[in-house]
């Protein structure tokens, strides 16, 4: 009878241990992978920093080399024989040969062109390949040197011997007469030049890729499908693009080279060439503060991490064996502690349950306290914001009223003069007070509606009458108000704020709503339209609609031809204190939204899109039956 529970406990514990070992293995694998990734990232980051410095150094060295070559040509151009026009004598040859030996093996040849761009002297490694007498007047960079009389370092070009080269020209100008006499020119093989500064033959290791401002490749280890070097081809040609088989990687490196050529900035990127990820750093080769060529230093991740990956494989095997041995030891120990484990597990379970329940209760209490505290902070912030804004807005009309009352005291004979501003500021103070009270009701959820049945058409007419009487003496005399019903009939129109009432108009739409609050919304929107319209038309339109559920709704829209709604405040148009006009408190639209939503409706505002300037505000609410 004792064997059964022992066997059962052993079976359960055995499963737990197996699962523990399994998850431990997963955790160990995760930790090993994380460590490996951390080491990889560290190696890559170190390589990136090192590569940035290397690329910059290569670009600077090549720029200095080109500058030094040009300086040597300048010395030749200013030498006495060449200044005297001696382009063919032995003396001139010896000078050129001496310079050629000093610069070899950087340059392929050095030559003198006369004023007609014909080679008068040519010094190169192999005299059997002399180009003496060759006419280079067809060459654009030769023409530019002759015309501008300025030194020039060319883009890449294919030379007579089919090698890809660059040229450095220095004009020979008599410094006494200023007469152009010819030029001293050298040719440099791009492959030979860039191979002095890095690998341009093996793309499985770190290598150099270089190109000119026309995106012609000056140096690259890449070869085409026929195992021919791509030096001299355009990087964006199909022949070169086909080498990068990964489309995303091709887009990345294309963008880098485009940006490098167009901006002259140093750039970097990671891209997949189809053979794995590669890190590329780009620096411009600058001469006289102008980028002439661009060098890319490329590091394949595979070559960078190959040694580390081999080491990781050995370490992973050792860890796996260690884990297997540890698992066997744990399984043996399991048999020894099994009988002692039963009662201990029971006590631990009971204690854990108690602690868990207490922890849950404590967490719930803490959560409730945090929620209450957050709500208190929100309420405190709202209260402070409300008090600050209210105090600021109330101060202006109050101070004006006090000021005018002092003026009345001092000059009672001018009472009539001060009466209008006193009345205006009193009305403003009253409106501000009403708005603030409305905000207080909204914030405390105490906005009550006193609903009654009334004709919405008649309410709009009364609102327009009140509005025009209020602004009858205003300076804006070029604004017309048009009142359209749902059939687009013009029922009321003004002439300098004089409404012509259509007494024969019999159309009615009765709604069950808070008449005063709906009138407040219409008045707010009409005031806004008037405020932002210097001249033009304000159109008030009303439409009755029914949906598929036979629910009737009424939509009131007010469209103006003013300056429209500022794009910055458009998304938060109906929030508190939102205004950019410097006029008003920014409370009217917030109050209007809450009134409409309290009626179960919606309100929105947008800039006109019918080719006319201005904005349109409209609100919709249901026609409820009492």
- Overall number of domains in the chain: 2
Digit-coded pLDDT (tens) for 300-356: 988 777 667 667 677 767 677 776 787 777 777 766 776 676 677 778 888 888 888
Which is it for strands 217-219 and 207-212: parallel, antiparallel or unpaired?
A: antiparallel
- List the structure tokens of 568: 């910055």
Tell me which DSSP letter residue 296 carries. E
In a domain, 151, yes or no: yes
586-599 mean pLDDT: 89
pLDDT at 518: 93
Q: What is the mean pLDDT of the chain?
A: 83
Q: Does 1 have pLDDT greater than 60?
A: no
User: Is residue 442 scored above 70 in pLDDT?
Assistant: yes
Pairing outcome for strands 207-212 and 164-173: unpaired
Tell me if 375 is assigned to some domain.
no
Residue 477 belongs to domain with CATH number:
3.30.565.10
- pLDDT at residue number 281: 95
Which of 135, 158, 193 terminates a domain? The answer is: 193
The last residue of a domain, from among 193, 228, 246: 193
Query: What mean pLDDT is predicted for residues 61-79?
Result: 95
pLDDT over threshold 80, residue 605: yes
C-alpha neighbours within 13 Å on the C-beta side of residue 352: 6
Of the two residues 471 and 281, the one the predictor is more confident about is 281
Q: How far apart are CA 262 and CA 160, in angstroms?
A: 30
Tell me which range, 39-43, 230-234, 346-350, 424-428, is most confidently predicted by mean pLDDT. 230-234
pLDDT band at 403 (very low <50, low <70, confident <90, very high): confident
Does residue 476 carry a pLDDT above 80?
Answer: no
CATH classification at residue 107: 3.30.450.20
Encoding tokens for residue 53? 């410095």
Mean pLDDT of 277-292: 94
- Report yes or no on 58 lying in a domain: no
Tell me: the pLDDT tens digits for 380-399? 665 666 666 666 667 767 77
User: Which residues have CB under 8 Å from 365's CB, separation 6+?
Assistant: none
Mark which of 135, 162, 193 sits at the end of a domain.
193
Confidence of residue 214 (pLDDT cuts 50, 70, 90): very high
Q: Looking at the predicted structure, is the pLDDT value of residue 113 above 60?
A: yes
Q: What is the pLDDT of residues 481-530, one digit of tens each?
A: 887 765 555 544 443 333 333 333 447 889 999 999 999 999 999 988 88
Calpha distance 341→18 (Å, rounded) = 17
- What pLDDT is recorded for position 380? 67
Cβ neighbour number for residue 11 with a 10 Å cutoff:
10
**Where does the pLDDT of residue 472 fall: very low under 50, low under 70, confident under 90, or very high at 90 and above?**
low
Q: Is residue 452 part of a domain?
A: yes
In this prediction, residues 27-35 reach a mean pLDDT of 78
Q: Is residue 399 part of a domain?
A: no
Confidence of residue 583 (pLDDT cuts 50, 70, 90): low
Q: What are phi and psi of 459, to 5 degrees?
A: -65, -40
**Quick check: is 213 in a domain?**
no
The Cα 538–Cα 558 span in angstroms is 7
Domain-embedded: residue 476: yes
Question: What are the φ and ψ backbone dihedral angles of 89, each rounded to 5 degrees?
Answer: -75, 165
Mean pLDDT of 67-80: 94
Residues 129 and 161 sit within 8 Å (Cβ to Cβ) = yes
The range of the structural domain enclosing residue 613 comes to 447-622
pLDDT above 60 for 599 = yes
Q: Are strands 267-272 and 217-219 parallel, antiparallel or unpaired?
A: unpaired
pLDDT at 5 over 80: no
**Residue 234 belongs to a domain:** no
């Amino acid at each position: 009878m004792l064997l059964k529970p022992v066997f059962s406990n052993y079976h359960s514990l055995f499963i737990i241990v197996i699962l523990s070992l399994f998850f431990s293995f997963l955790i160990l694998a995760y930790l090993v992978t994380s460590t490996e990734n951390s080491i990889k990232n560290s190696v890559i980051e170190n390589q990136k920093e090192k590569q940035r410095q290397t690329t910059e150094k290569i670009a600077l060295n090549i720029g200095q080399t080109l500058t030094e070559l040009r300086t040597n040509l300048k010395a030749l151009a200013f030498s006495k024989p060449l200044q005297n026009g001696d382009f063919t004598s032995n003396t001139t040859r010896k000078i050129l040969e001496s310079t050629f030996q000093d610069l070899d093996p950087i340059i392929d040849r050095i030559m003198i062109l006369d004023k007609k761009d014909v080679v008068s002297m040519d010094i190169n490694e192999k005299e059997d390949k002399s180009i003496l007498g060759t006419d280079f007047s067809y060459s654009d960079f030769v023409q530019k040197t002759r015309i501008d009389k300025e030194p020039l370092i060319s883009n890449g070009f294919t030379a007579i011997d089919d090698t890809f080269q660059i040229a450095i020209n220095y004009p020979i100008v008599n410094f006494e007469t200023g007469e152009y006499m010819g030029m001293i020119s050298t040719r440099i093989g791009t492959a030979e030049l860039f191979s002095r500064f890095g690998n341009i033959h093996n793309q499985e290791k770190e290598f150099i890729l270089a190109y000119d401002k026309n995106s012609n490749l000056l140096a690259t280890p890449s070869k085409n499908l026929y195992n021919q070097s791509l030096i001299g081809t355009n990087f964006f040609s199909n022949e070169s693009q086909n080498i990068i088989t990964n489309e995303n990687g091709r887009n990345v490196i294309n963008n880098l080279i485009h940006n490098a050529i167009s901006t002259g900035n140093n750039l970097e990127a990671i891209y997949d060439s189809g053979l794995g990820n590669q890190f590329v750093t780009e620096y411009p080769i600058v001469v006289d503060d102008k980028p002439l060529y661009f060098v890319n230093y490329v590091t394949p991740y595979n070559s960078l991490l190959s040694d580390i990956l081999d080491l990781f494989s050995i370490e992973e095997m050792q860890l796996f064996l260690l884990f297997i041995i540890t698992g066997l030891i744990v399984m043996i120990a399991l048999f020894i502690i099994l009988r002692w484990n039963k009662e201990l597990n029971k006590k631990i379970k009971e204690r854990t349950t108690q602690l868990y329940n207490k922890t849950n209760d404590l967490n719930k209490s803490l959560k409730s306290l945090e929620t209450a505290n957050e709500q208190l902070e929100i309420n405190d912030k709202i209260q402070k914001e409300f008090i600050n804004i209210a105090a600021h807005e109330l101060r202006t009309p109050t101070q004006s009223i006090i000021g005018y009352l002092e003026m009345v005291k001092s000059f009672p004979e001018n009472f009539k003069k001060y009466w209008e501003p006193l009345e205006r500021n009193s009305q403003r103070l009253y409106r501000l007070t009403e708005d603030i009270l409305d905000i207080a009701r909204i914030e405390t959820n105490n906005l009550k509606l006193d609903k009654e049945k009334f004709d919405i058409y008649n309410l709009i007419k009364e609102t327009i009458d009140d509005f025009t009487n209020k602004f009858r003496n205003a300076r804006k005399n070029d604004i017309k108000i048009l009142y359209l019903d749902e059939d687009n009939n013009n029922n009321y129109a003004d002439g300098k704020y004089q409404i012509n009432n259509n007494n024969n108009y019999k159309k009615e739409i009765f709604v069950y709503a808070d008449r005063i609050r709906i009138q407040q919304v219409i008045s707010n929107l009409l005031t806004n339209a008037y405020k932002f319209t210097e001249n033009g038309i304000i159109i008030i339109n009303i439409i009755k609609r029914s949906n598929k559920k036979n629910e009737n709704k009424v939509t009131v829209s007010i469209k103006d031809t003013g300056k429209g709604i500022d794009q910055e405040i458009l998304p938060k148009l109906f929030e508190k204190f939102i205004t950019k006009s410097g006029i008003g408190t920014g409370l009217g639209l917030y109050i209007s939204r809450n009134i409409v939503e309290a009626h179960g409706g919606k309100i929105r505002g947008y800039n006109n899109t019918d080719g006319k300037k201005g904005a349109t505000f409209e609100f919709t609410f249901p026609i409820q039956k009492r």
